[in-house]
Amino acid sequence: MCRDSYQRAKKLTGSDGAAGLTLFFFTVPLCLSPLIGYVIDRVDRRRFLVATCLLAAVAITPLAAVTGRDTFWLVYPVAAAMGLSYAATSGALGGLLKAILPAESLAGANGALQTARQGLRLVGPLFGMAVYATWGIGAVVLFDVATFMVAAAAFALLPAPPPAPAAPRGRPRDEFLAGARHLAGDPLLRRTVTAFCMMFAVAGATESLIFAVIEHGLGRPPEFTAVTSTAMGVGAIIGGLGAAAVIARCGELFAIGAGIALYGVAVLLWAVPAGAVVLAAMATGGAGLTLAGVAEATLTQRRSPGHLVGRVSAAFDAVAGVVQLASLAAGAVLVSLFDHRVLLGVVGVTVCLAGAHALRARSMRSPAGHPTAA
C-alpha cells in the first residue's frame, strides 16, 4: 500500500519531497511501539491481529477520495494509520509464531512469511497500477480493503496457541520498559539494533532518492517505480527462500551483517545511469534486506521470553523507527538540495559500514549454539 501512495504522491504533486513525506507519516506511529508492545503482551495475540486487520480495512478507505492536490492531504493520515497497523501486526505476529512453533522452526517460518510477502510485492505494484489505470483509485482501495478482510479471516481460523505460563508482574513503569531493558542487556540483540540503526540513520533517504534516480538518472516517469519494486520483490523472494539455510549455517548476526552490506552495495549501484544495472541492484538490495530482516526477527524471537516478545520487538521498532523517521525527514529535504549521486554515495558507504559492524561479531555465539559467522 505504501508504494502505491508514493507513486500517487509523485504523480499528483510532482514532488520527490511529497512522496518521501508519505513514508515519513507511515513511520511516525513506530514511536508508539513501546505502548503497542505492552498491549500485545497483555492480550490474546490472535484476536489482536484480527482486530488490527479489521481496523486497517476501515482506515484505508479515505484514500479513495484523493483526486488531486486539494485532497492530497488525506494520504498522510492514511499513511499514519497504515504505519500503526504495521507496528501492531509486526509485534503480535512475532509473538504468535514463537508461541506456536518450536525454536528450530522459527527461521524457516520467518523466511516463508517474508517470501510470501515479497511474492505479493512482486505482482502488487504492477497489479495496482493496472487497476488504477483501468478503474481508478477507488478500485485499488476496494481491493486493499478486501485483502485486510481476508487476513483477518485467516488469523481468526488459526488454532489458539497453548496457554502461556503466568508472566511475572512488577511496577507499571518497569513492565513498560522491560522490553527495552532486555534489548539493551542482551549482547546479540544490542549488536543487532546498533547495526540496524546505523543503516536506518541514512537509508530512510532512499525512499525519496529512488524517485530522483528514476527521473534524473534513468529519465523515466514516476510509474517506473512499479518496475523497480518488482525487481526488488524478485530479489526479496530469493533472500527469503535462502534465509533459513544461511542462518542455520552461519548464524543470525552473520546473516544480518551480510544482508545489510548487500543493501549498501546495491544503493551505491543506483548511481549508475543504466536501467539494467539499477534493476539488478534493486534485486540485490531486496535479497539483502529480506535476509537481514528474517535473521533479526528470528534472533529476537529466540532471545526473548514469550511474555516479553511483544515489548522487545516494540522496543526494537521504536529505536529503529525514530532513527528512520529522522532519516526520512532529512532525505525529503536533502534530495532537493544535493545531487542524488552524492547522497547515494553517502548512504551506500554508511550502510556498508553498518553491515561490517554486525559482521565483526565473529566470536559471539547464536542462541542455537553455533557461531554467528562461519
Helix (H, G, I), strand (E, B) or coil at 272: coil
Gap between the Cα atoms of 102 and 118, Å rounded: 24
Q: For the chain, which residues make up each domain, given as ranges? A: 2-160+167-359
pLDDT band at 11; cut points 50, 70, 90: low
Contact (Cβ atoms closer than 8 angstroms) between residue 4 and residue 128? yes
Contact (Cβ atoms closer than 8 angstroms) between residue 312 and residue 182? yes
Quote the pLDDT of residue 338: 87
pLDDT tens for each residue of 259-316: 999 999 999 999 999 999 999 999 999 999 999 999 999 999 999 988 888 889 888 8
Which tops the pLDDT comparison, 188 or 129? Answer: 188
What lies within 8 Å, CB to CB, of 43 at 6+ separation is none
CATH fold for domain 2-160+167-359: Growth Hormone; Chain: A; (1.20.1250)
Contact (Cβ atoms closer than 8 angstroms) between residue 72 and residue 17? no
pLDDT band at 196; cut points 50, 70, 90: very high
pLDDT tens for each residue of 269-279: 999 999 999 99
Contact (Cβ atoms closer than 8 angstroms) between residue 296 and residue 196? yes
Most confidently predicted of 319-328, 329-338, 341-350: 341-350
Gap between the Cα atoms of 323 and 197, Å rounded: 6
Quote the pLDDT of residue 331: 81
User: How far is residue 337 CA from its own chain's centroid?
Assistant: 27
pLDDT tens for each residue of 104-148: 899 999 999 989 888 877 777 678 778 888 888 889 899 999 999
Provide the grid cell at 186.
Answer: 542482551
N- to C-terminal Cα separation, the chain: 38
Residue with cell string 512469511: 113
Provide the grid cell at 144.
Answer: 486493499
Tell me 213's DSSP state: I
Residue 349 burial (10 A CB sphere; 0-12, 13-18, 19+)? middle
Q: What's the pTM?
A: 0.82
Q: Is 327 left (phi over 0), alpha (psi -120 to 50) or beta?
A: alpha
Among candidate residues 79, 94, 95, 97, the one with its CA nearest the CA of residue 30: 79
Gap between the Cα atoms of 324 and 326, Å rounded: 5
pLDDT tens for each residue of 37-83: 888 888 889 999 999 999 999 999 998 888 777 788 888 899 899 98
Asked whether residue 164 carries a pLDDT value surpassing 90, the answer given is no
